[in-house]
Amino acid sequence: MSGPLAQLLTAGPPDGAALDAFIAEHDIPLVYREGVTFLYRGEADGVFLRMFISGLPAAQPLERVEGSDLWLLKLSLPAGSRFEYKFEVKRDGATTWITDPLNPIRAADPFGVNSVCQGFGYLPPEWTLPDGSARAGSFEEFAIDSRHLGRRPVQLYLPARFRRTRRYPLLVLHDGTDYLRYAGLKSVLDNLVHRLEIPPLIVALIDSPDRLHEYVGLDAHADFLVEELVPAVAARVPLDPDPAARGAMGASLGSVASLHAAWRHPGSFGRLLLQSGSFAFTDIGENRRGPVFEPVVRFMNAFRARPGRPAERIYVSCGIYESLIYENRSLVPLLTEHRMQVRYEEARDGHNWQNWRDRLRAGLTFLFPGPLWMVYE
């Protein structure tokens, strides 16, 4: 070990005051070009880093510095990486999972809050942050009484300077509430429209009360999107009638639902944005991802056998630290072989909302290039 921490420990076990001073002067975890060192302070029988990186052990033990309450773990990490984690603390026969008390950087998702490790060179993209100079879009809410799915609420994002005298592209967004809460979608849209990186567009945000049923290749869901949702939006706001100006997107199972709808209804969506798609399939043998994925496997096996041309342009992204990286990589050559324009992006990140947030600019500007990109492409 080298650097300031090594200097602190060279003289023997540090006392509490020395540790307090060190932690106050440094960002924790300690980040350097080759990796990161995690610190934990407190009495415990064992402390483990619980990290969400496919391919590495889920739990890695921290080592206690003899004579102190300091625990350490040095982890090699490629530059530009970002991942989420917790500490598993064992004490007096009890086990507790906690966020890192020394790291103020957090990320939320529908299941709670995680600590975030930002590796060397990673910074949250500035275009994801609220920009006071960007004119704000607005939201309009309504509901659809669907014969396919029952009553469904819809949120419409209307861009700043929305006018009913012009026609707009449409993007249908699965898990819209989560994109707003956890991926900063409102700021991203406002910023990209303001900077002329995407055109003013309408976004229809939808959610599912049972995404494990509806987002796995359910025909009724695809029919709802094409036969009911898009016409209902078109009845409320002026849309560009060209299918090339219409897109669908989602993350994880939301990607499956988007691809399935475009495949079931060819020509309905000219653009697809697929993030960390749960594209489980089988070449031989049985599905190893469990019974929940059986409908996905049936759809993906059928799609891979007869992909057709569900969209003209498709953006696909996935984190290198996800278990789904193989499936997403496998999808790309299949799409390109069938004359679809594909842009594929990998990130040193996992299956989480901030990964998906960080890819929004690349995806949206590829699918819906604004005046800025139309000039420089």
Distance from C-alpha of 295 to C-alpha of 283, rounded to nearest angstrom: 15
Q: What is the pLDDT of residue 8?
A: 78
**Strand intervals (E) in 119-196:** 138-146, 150-158, 170-174
User: Where in the chain are all domains bearing CATH 3.40.50.1820?
Assistant: 126-376
Note every long-range contact of 61-70, with CB atoms under 8 Å and residues 24 or more positions apart, other chains counting.
62/38, 65/9, 65/13, 65/14, 66/13, 67/12, 67/13, 68/13, 68/14, 68/15, 68/19, 69/16, 69/41, 69/42, 69/43, 70/14, 70/19, 70/39, 70/40, 70/41
Q: Which CATH superfamily is domain 4-118 in?
A: Immunoglobulins (2.60.40.10)
Q: What is the pLDDT of residue 10?
A: 78
Characterize 355-369 residue by residue with b for buried, 16 or more Cβ atoms within 10 angstroms of its Cβ, and e for exposed: bbbbbbbbbbbbbbb
- Two tokens at 352? 């989480």
Q: What is the pLDDT of residue 2?
A: 56
Report strand pairing: 170-174 vs 246-251: parallel
Model pTM? 0.94
Alpha carbon separation from 370 to 6, 199, 284, 352, 360 (Å, rounded): 51, 5, 44, 27, 14
pLDDT along the chain (377 residues), means of 10: 73 80 93 95 96 92 93 96 98 96 97 97 96 96 98 98 96 98 98 98 98 97 98 98 96 98 98 98 86 95 97 98 96 96 98 98 98 64
How many CA atoms, within 13 angstroms, populate the side-chain half-sphere of residue 217?
18
User: Where in the chain are all domains bearing CATH 2.60.40.10?
Assistant: 4-118
Where does 211-359 have alpha helices with state H? 211-214, 219-223, 230-236, 253-264, 294-305, 325-337, 353-358
User: Residue 1, SS3?
Assistant: coil
Distance from C-alpha of 352 to C-alpha of 111, rounded to nearest angstrom: 11
Say which CATH class 126-376 falls into. Answer: alpha beta
